[in-house]
Chain A
């Protein structure tokens, strides 16, 4: 009795393997896409809007008839920034949900732990939220990325700022981890282009709230530009501390500090802050009619205002939709890859970069642009920097 049940169970378990050679995750009326998000961990405030942005784009595609008649279905797993859960989630999505591709997986530990088994299973690994080079180098047919390492953005931004404002004493306040070190490399490279070096650098532990000693030290060094390798809260704290002391130094924050929360939390203290923007924040006021309509639809669907992370999720999903559309009615992984590599991407309604992939470059964009907080909101002040 028991034996026959085991056999039966084993037979059921093997069923999916026998299903044949068609592309996993692609049936005649549906394409299943997987995403490993952080909805409960330390970067859950990014995970939820990214997921909503992707959902919104897929729902729009479905409302207009799908991709070659196939509906798009997004299966989201929450790994909470834990690589162990990421490995299990990747296995579930590959085996049980049989997803066609992975989209916007969130967090470097999650991505680094799950990416090998994803590409091993032959599934495209698309646009993960990890600035790690391994997400697109060495060139791999299944790995595509649209976010460059911080280093690239920061080198261009520092170079541009020093050139246009003629700063002579650039300093750095950085988070004491891989993120901070990556930014430091970029800032040093940017300064080197102008034949300069960092005047002073000082670090803080992740989660710090008091920046008085760091700001005092930077002030004593006579900095005229302080680059902040901080996230939202630390950006606000550092700048507020400087202004409290009456130090009106210019500050430039990385894309991690480019968030509507920065001016919402910082108020007048962060007025004049420069930031690097990879994708613009979708403000409803002053938006083009298309963007305003998009913001309204997003609000109605999810009950919250969209932010830059929603735009990132939406953009990533849009690239997938465009490539799947271009790949034709017979969707295969190989066809999808070729389509993505040759995709002529239209400028979007957000003013984001025009992504471009090729057969020997799977990083779709390398440049950000400069923004500044003016009158309580981010305003773009430069074109895309190279």
Chain B
């Protein structure tokens, strides 16, 4: 009974998406899709760290920054964008490893604070290393291109993002189903009990941060191209919180939570902007109206699905 119902729901959703696409114009919708997919990749990273391994990371934005800057600098040096992406991932993974080091001594909230400090340090370093990063003045990012082939339209951006998201999804599926995933869930449930079953909590946490960092770096690498201009302030604490919110809204314990969360975080503000056009002028021009409505939607989603959209009701 459940399966056909699910199909009906999915096709209704697909039809609604097509309707929105028709109403908004294809480029606008595909541009959204590129960002949704990109943020879903970063969201997968948060799901591994927060949802699977049970660690709170307040520094995901900084890991994305590492990937974005690595990608930008390599591409500026002439490395083809797809070949630069593994390096962006590697730097993100390295950052994740570094951020996880305090987990060997600290736990819970104290460790969360250390990831916050990590994010602040990275942002500051990006400002200070202005010879490399352009500092606060920023850095222009070339298009995502291989030879004459460039992802320079919304459709191609969306295609690249979806392709990368699919690969990232498969990797996550594999990790979650492996012994690694079981170790993550074991330390999430009870560190002491996990340890008594020969699981090394420090190693498990580190591996979650390395995998999560790699995904954030990957998302950062794509984000850099779609935005085309990097400044350290884009990767401030706000982004880290946004990513954390993404995972909780979508459902941190499920991989699908990253997709739902990205859809809410990226697309809802845009839908609100569209809906606002229908309001009377006096109301529509109220400053901060969109932020207010967005907050309302978030609260409603949390009340409706405390475990996240992908979670159990």
User: Could you give, for residues 1-44 of chain B, a 1 whenever the CB lies within 8 Å of some chain A CB and a 0 otherwise?
Assistant: 00000000001000100110111111110011001000000000
Main secondary structure of the interface of A (DSSP, over half): helix
Q: Which residues of chain B are within 8 angstroms of A44 by Cβ–Cβ distance?
A: 287-288
Q: Which residues on B sit within 8 Å (CB–CB) of A91?
A: 27-28, 31, 154
**A176→B287 CA distance, assembly (Å):** 29
Q: Which residues of the partner chain A approach B24 to less than 8 Å between Cβ atoms? A: 92, 95-96
Q: Are A178 and B136 in contact (CB under 8 A)?
A: yes
Stretch of A8-16, A212-220, A340-348, A358-366 with 4 or more beta carbons under 8 angstroms from chain B: A8-16
Does B266 contact A13, Cβ atoms closer than 8 Å? no
- Report B-chain residues with C-beta under 8 Å of the C-beta of A9: 18-19, 21-22
B229 near A113: Cβ-Cβ < 8 Å: yes
In the bound complex, residues from chain B placing their C-beta under 8 Å from that of A234 are: none
Q: Mark B248-288, 1 if CB is under 8 A from A, else 0.
A: 00000000000000000010011001100100000001011
Is A178's CB under 8 angstroms from B234's CB? no
Minimal Cβ-Cβ distance residue in A for B31: A91
- Select A89's contact among B21, B140, B273, B277, beta carbons within 8 Å: B273
Q: Is A76 an interface residue (CB 8 A)?
A: yes
The answer to the question of A256 belonging to the interface, with a C-beta cut-off of 8 Å to chain B, is no
Q: How far is the CA of A84 from the CA of B31 in the complex (A)?
A: 10
Q: How far is the CA of A14 from the CA of B25 in the complex (A)?
A: 8
CB pair B287 A48 closer than 8 Å:
yes
Secondary structure dominating the interface of B:
helix
- Size of B's binding interface in residues, CB under 8 A: 42
Q: Please, what's the 1-or-0 string for B72-100, where 1 marks a CB less than 8 Å from any CB in chain A?
A: 00000000000000000000000000000
Instruction: Give, as a whole number of angstroms, the nearest-CB distance from A93 to chain B.
Output: 9
The A-contacting residues of B in range 274-310, CB under 8 angstroms, are 274, 277, 285, 287-291
A96 touches B269 (CB 8 A): no
Per the bound structure, the CA–CA distance linking A180 and B90 in Å amounts to: 34
Q: Is A88 an interface residue (CB 8 A)?
A: yes
Bound together, the chains give a CA A78 to CA B274 distance in angstroms of 11
**Does B166 sit at the interface, judged by CB under 8 A?**
no
Bound: A77/B277 CA distance, A:
10
Residues of chain A with a CB closer than 8 A to B227's CB: 83-84, 87, 113
Q: How many A-B residue pairs have CB under 8 A?
A: 105
Expressed in whole angstroms, the Cα–Cα distance for A58 and B40 within the complex equals 41
B-contacting residues, A1-45, CB 8 Å: 2, 5-6, 9-10, 12-14, 16, 39-40, 44
Evaluate contact between B31 and A2: CB separation under 8 angstroms: no
Out of A13, A40, A78, A109, which one reaches B234, CB within 8 Å?
Answer: A109
B229 engages A39 (CB within 8 Å) = no
How many whole Å from A245's CB to the nearest CB in chain B? 30
Residues of chain A from 58 to 78 with CB closer than 8 A to chain B in the complex: 75-78
Most chain B CB within 10 A, of A6, A13, A89, is at A13
Say if the beta carbon of A374 comes within 8 Å of chain B: no
Contacts of B23 in A (CB 8 A): 96
Q: Which residue of B lies closest to A45 (CB)?
A: B287
Indicate if the CB atoms of B35 and A88 lie closer than 8 Å: yes
A141 to B187 CA separation, bound complex (whole angstroms):
60
Are B28 and A178 in contact, CB atoms less than 8 angstroms apart? Answer: no
* 25 pairs from A and B in contact (CB 8 Å cutoff): A6-B18, A9-B22, A13-B25, A16-B25, A39-B288, A40-B290, A44-B287, A47-B287, A51-B285, A55-B285, A75-B277, A83-B229, A83-B234, A84-B266, A85-B269, A87-B226, A88-B28, A91-B27, A91-B154, A92-B270, A95-B28, A96-B28, A176-B127, A181-B135, A181-B137
Q: Report the 6 A-B pairs with minimum CB-CB distance, sorted nearest first.
A: A95-B25, A112-B229, A178-B136, A40-B291, A177-B136, A178-B137
